[in-house]
Structure 1
Amino acid sequence: MTSTLSTGPVPTGSVHDVVTARPGDTCDAELAEGPWLFDLVPGYGPGASEDDVVPEPVVRPGQLPVAYQRMDDADLHERIRAAKEALGDRLVVLGHFYQRDEVVQHADFVGDSFQLANAALTRPDAETIVFCGVHFMAETADILARPEQHVILPNLAAGCSMADMADEESVETAWEELERVYADPVTGMGPDADGKVPVLPVTYMNSSAALKAFCGRHGGIVCTSSNAATVLEWAFERAHRVLFFPDQHLGRNTAKALGVPLDRMPMWNPRKPLGGNTEEQLHDAQVLLWHGFCSVHKRFTVAQIEQARAEHPGVKVVVHPECPMPVVDAADAAGSTDLIRKYVAASQPGDVIAIGTEVNLVNRLAAEHPDRTIFCLDPVVCPCSTMYRIHPGYLAWVLDGLLEGEVRNEIVVPDDVARDAKVALERMLAARPKDASPVPVSGRGA
């Protein structure tokens, strides 16, 4: 399900050059500020969507020492390089595709969240895994890591608004409501004569370890954007319905491509009784879509695609499946971050490609393919506000800590949560597409 990760050189840039657009073209002028200024401020930081509902607790606390805030670019990069050389094979640094270039240049592996969690397994001698991404990604890495390995998130304030839109309490409450609607007087929530249960939970990788564990306990499964169709097919073989969280758009786009009618995909709003549905609607449902979304991918519109086609005749449009359904329908192709990379790699010199995903990745693809015209569909530069929270200053600080014998900002998933979450992850691996190679899984209980 995963592909070969990017391990080659990437474009480098100034630590403080957060974006490359002209002044006034960014969605938030504060993106040019150091992220440490916002570590203790409620919310997701500069560039966050106004639609994001800030959870309680509002953020995971983080704070960078002043000395690292004041270091210039050259000093930070040199400290990172020196620490990596001193730590050698005892360390592996993972960088998500959406990270800023000045962080990615120090990564040993670059990929999506699950690719990176598995990439760490190829470094069994590493004592420490530093995950330059967001909180749920570091949790997944800890679940798959060996018990003696440490997983570090450089900035604990790097959360994920989408992942926070489905919290454990809300999902447990929803499940109790669904049990009251679907439970059979004889079999309860167990399988019927056809061997199918009334409903199975499916969580996107972009969710907390607690929700992955919830799926593990209730016969459910985890999916990524690249294998969501395979996972839904797996679920439909075992259940009459699926509760899909937290991203409604990935669920809707994937189920629609499998032939599920839109009128059988009601939204589940956790703030309303029965998710805002009638019992009749729930009985007729095939996919229950949680009311969650990605703030970045929600920004893309059909109007942007139409403008791109008007200004660039012959342009090819590829978008991420976290985009709204009309955007996916209007594009030439849609798929995971890795599919977008492969789509660009398979293009020809002179091609024009408009991409609907996070701008750091789009800019990196444009730099890697200078003989093509590659641009972001959204004319206003708006990087992922939570990925932005990782800065070379935080990376230098946690690596210096390792040199001093201190593990800073360690992410530890409780053993009982990790055990159940790993069950759901293993189901996902077992449900791989027929043409995919098996992905190794290790970690606790293996």
Structure 2
Amino acid sequence: MAATRITLERDPSVARAIAADPSSACESDLTAAPWSFDAAPGYGPGSSSADPFPAAAPVQGEIPAEYRDASDAELHERIRAARTTLGERVVVLGHFYQRDEIVQHADYVGDSFQLARAATEHPDAEAIVFCGVHFMAETADILSGAGQNVILPHLGAGCSMADMATIDEVEECWEQLEDVLGPLDKEDEDGLVPVIPVTYMNSSAAIKGFVGRNGGIVCTSSNARTVLEWAFARGRRVLFFPDQHLGRNIAKAMGVPLGLMPMWNPRQPLGGSTAGELEDSRVILWHGFCSVHRRFTTAQIDKARAEHPGVRVIVHPECPMAVVDAADESGSTDVIRRAIEGATEPTTFAIGTEINLVQRLAAQHPQHTIFCLDPVVCPCSTMYRIHPAYLAWVLEELVAGRTVNRIGVAPDVAVPARVALDRMLAATP
């Protein structure tokens, strides 16, 4: 399904909700401007603030004071003026989890899969401004044309889940698996190789390149089952990274026993498993997770059911298995959105995903009662780093003939990564 333009009938801004009641937020620092945290390495306040931060991760430099000091109204006017001047020379993509202050300026709004497709649909645009996180901008650069520039408004908008699997760790894992399973490119009597690598979209370009070089594929939360079917048709087992919960939930739904899904901890020999456990495995799960979706619990679902009889609970498959099992449904951000849009009668929905999307859906569908399972407002730390000041800055730099915050992927990585991404785009559920 294509990414879409979303029109907001009223402003359900998470930023305003936090400002009105900072005690309801996971961190009081969420009320501060994001440039307050640019000088120090880290994900910033929000759900990922406690996650380990890679030393080599990009850090956003200070933007000019004129943007930091501008009012909200001035920033929005400057963004609109720059968009008018640039016209079709620029395309702005916005992820579902972005602030509403950003989404209102996006040409397309969607999940990472939809926006990856949108990046390929405007070959004549000189620039693609990706209001998302770093791995998404890398993917757009890989899929876009040679003459196009992909821009990430805030270089510190990374992803702690993606950072939980580094290229060095994955290559070391691959070597250890080869010691246990033999040559990993050798087919057996059934034409299957010992293991197929599958990486979630939430991973670096280097990881996607590794997967492409080793016969693997990229998946999204919307096509993960189709991708695993593709992988099982080619290999005895799957190495799935970096999100353990998505891999476990999808494989379990496909009938893979939990006992055949050992965890790979990159800080332990053989990932913390025995050679026998790896030989018997069907899916080897990487020790990674999403800090937003790990916040959801079965106790929250129990509370929602007690307080709202008949509530329809839908959660993202990055949530822990017990949460997915306790929910009525699970699915990608777009699946959640379409479920709400498709409800013909007034319905109460309890949603287990990022708060910006949940509040936006509640604003767009006032005929329903829609609330987030987590009562504490705790947005994705890195998505939250992109503020209208950064968007105004990168757009006005384009007007002036300068490109800042360009995200580029080297050809030796981009070429095999494109192979893995093309396989993903072809794996339509």
Once the 2 structures are TM-superposed, how far is the Cα of residue 47 of structure 1 from its aligned partner?
Answer: 1.1
| Residues 1:57 and 2:56 are matched in the alignment | yes
Partner of 2:205: 209
| Residues 1:157 and 2:153 are matched in the alignment | no
1:311-333: CA deviations, max 9, x gaps? Answer: 00000000000000000000000
Partner of 1:4: 2
**Alignment check: 8 A CA contact 1:134 1:386 kept:** yes
Which of 21-30 and 297-306 deviates more? 21-30
Q: What is the rounded CA distance, in whole Å, between the counterparts of 1:200 and 1:328 in structure 2?
A: 25
Superposition pairs of residues 202-351 of structure 1, within 5 angstroms: 202-351=198-347
1:392-434: CA deviations, max 9, x gaps? Answer: 000000001001100010000001111010000112223323x
**Alignment check: 8 A CA contact 1:138 1:411 kept:** yes
Q: What is the rounded CA distance, in whole Å, between the counterparts of 1:308 and 1:415 in structure 2?
A: 49
Q: What is the rounded CA distance, in whole Å, between the counterparts of 2:48 and 2:158 in structure 1?
A: 14
Superposition pairs of residues 80-119 of structure 1, within 5 angstroms: 80-119=79-118
Superposition pairs of residues 134-149 of structure 1, within 5 angstroms: 134-149=133-148
Once the 2 structures are TM-superposed, how far is the Cα of residue 342 of structure 1 from its aligned partner?
Answer: 0.6
Once the 2 structures are TM-superposed, how far is the Cα of residue 389 of structure 1 from its aligned partner?
Answer: 0.5
TM-score by length of 2: 0.97
Query: Which ranges in structure 2 are unaligned for 5 or more consecutive residues?
Result: none
Give the alignment partner of residue 370 of structure 2, picking from 368, 374, 399. 374
Partner of 1:66: 65
- SS of 2:23's equivalent in the other structure is coil
- SS of 1:92's equivalent in the other structure is strand
Amino acid at match of 1:26: A
Q: What is the rounded CA distance, in whole Å, between the counterparts of 1:18 and 1:153 in structure 2?
A: 26
- Percent identity (aligned): 65
- Count of equivalent residues: 428
Query: Which ranges in structure 1 are unaligned for 5 or more consecutive residues?
Result: 434-446
- SS of 2:92's equivalent in the other structure is strand
- Shift in CA distance, 18/79, structure 1 to aligned 2, threshold 3 Å: farther
Q: What is the rounded CA distance, in whole Å, between the counterparts of 2:391 and 2:340 in structure 1?
A: 30
Once the 2 structures are TM-superposed, how far is the Cα of residue 113 of structure 1 from its aligned partner?
Answer: 1.3
**Alignment check: 8 A CA contact 2:2 2:118 kept:** no
Amino acid at match of 2:29: E
Q: What is the rounded CA distance, in whole Å, between the counterparts of 2:189 and 2:139 in structure 1?
A: 36
Q: What is the rounded CA distance, in whole Å, between the counterparts of 1:316 and 1:417 in structure 2?
A: 43
Which of 53-62 and 203-212 deviates more? 53-62
**Alignment check: 8 A CA contact 1:179 1:189 kept:** no
Q: What is the rounded CA distance, in whole Å, between the counterparts of 2:426 and 2:6 in structure 1?
A: 30
Once the 2 structures are TM-superposed, how far is the Cα of residue 285 of structure 1 from its aligned partner?
Answer: 0.7
**Alignment check: 8 A CA contact 2:153 2:390 kept:** yes
Which of 321-330 and 4-13 deviates more? 4-13
- SS of 2:16's equivalent in the other structure is coil
Amino acid at match of 1:329: D
Q: What is the rounded CA distance, in whole Å, between the counterparts of 1:197 and 1:354 in structure 2?
A: 42
Once the 2 structures are TM-superposed, how far is the Cα of residue 190 of structure 1 from its aligned partner?
Answer: 1.1
Amino acid at match of 1:7: R
Moved >3 Å (runs of 4+)? 11-16, 18-21, 48-51, 58-62
Q: What is the rounded CA distance, in whole Å, between the counterparts of 1:223 and 1:52 in structure 2?
A: 24
Q: What is the rounded CA distance, in whole Å, between the counterparts of 1:70 and 1:51 in structure 2?
A: 29
Partner of 2:169: 170
- SS of 1:244's equivalent in the other structure is strand
Once the 2 structures are TM-superposed, how far is the Cα of residue 39 of structure 1 from its aligned partner?
Answer: 1.4
Once the 2 structures are TM-superposed, how far is the Cα of residue 20 of structure 1 from its aligned partner?
Answer: 6.9
Once the 2 structures are TM-superposed, how far is the Cα of residue 53 of structure 1 from its aligned partner?
Answer: 2.0
Q: What is the rounded CA distance, in whole Å, between the counterparts of 1:51 and 1:390 in structure 2?
A: 19
- SS of 1:407's equivalent in the other structure is coil
TM-score by length of 1: 0.93
Once the 2 structures are TM-superposed, how far is the Cα of residue 15 of structure 1 from its aligned partner?
Answer: 9.9
Q: What is the rounded CA distance, in whole Å, between the counterparts of 1:304 and 1:209 in structure 2?
A: 36
Once the 2 structures are TM-superposed, how far is the Cα of residue 60 of structure 1 from its aligned partner?
Answer: 3.2
Give the alignment partner of residue 419 of structure 1, picking from 415, 422, 427. 415
- SS of 1:161's equivalent in the other structure is coil
- Shift in CA distance, 119/19, structure 1 to aligned 2, threshold 3 Å: farther
**Alignment check: 8 A CA contact 2:130 2:152 kept:** yes
Q: What is the rounded CA distance, in whole Å, between the counterparts of 2:62 and 2:155 in structure 1?
A: 8
Which of 117-126 and 162-171 deviates more? 117-126
Partner of 1:441: none
1:242-287: CA deviations, max 9, x gaps? Answer: 1000000000000000000000001000000000011011111110
Once the 2 structures are TM-superposed, how far is the Cα of residue 365 of structure 1 from its aligned partner?
Answer: 0.3
Amino acid at match of 1:96: H
- SS of 2:82's equivalent in the other structure is helix
Q: What is the rounded CA distance, in whole Å, between the counterparts of 2:266 and 2:122 in structure 1?
A: 41
**Alignment check: 8 A CA contact 1:359 1:382 kept:** yes
1:223-254: CA deviations, max 9, x gaps? Answer: 00000000001000110011000000000000
Q: What is the rounded CA distance, in whole Å, between the counterparts of 1:429 and 1:105 in structure 2?
A: 27
Amino acid at match of 1:148: G
Q: What is the rounded CA distance, in whole Å, between the counterparts of 1:21 and 1:206 in structure 2?
A: 32
Partner of 1:438: none
1:110-132: CA deviations, max 9, x gaps? Answer: 00112112113222221100000
**Alignment check: 8 A CA contact 1:182 1:189 kept:** no
1:274-308: CA deviations, max 9, x gaps? Answer: 00011011111110000000000000000000000
Partner of 1:439: none
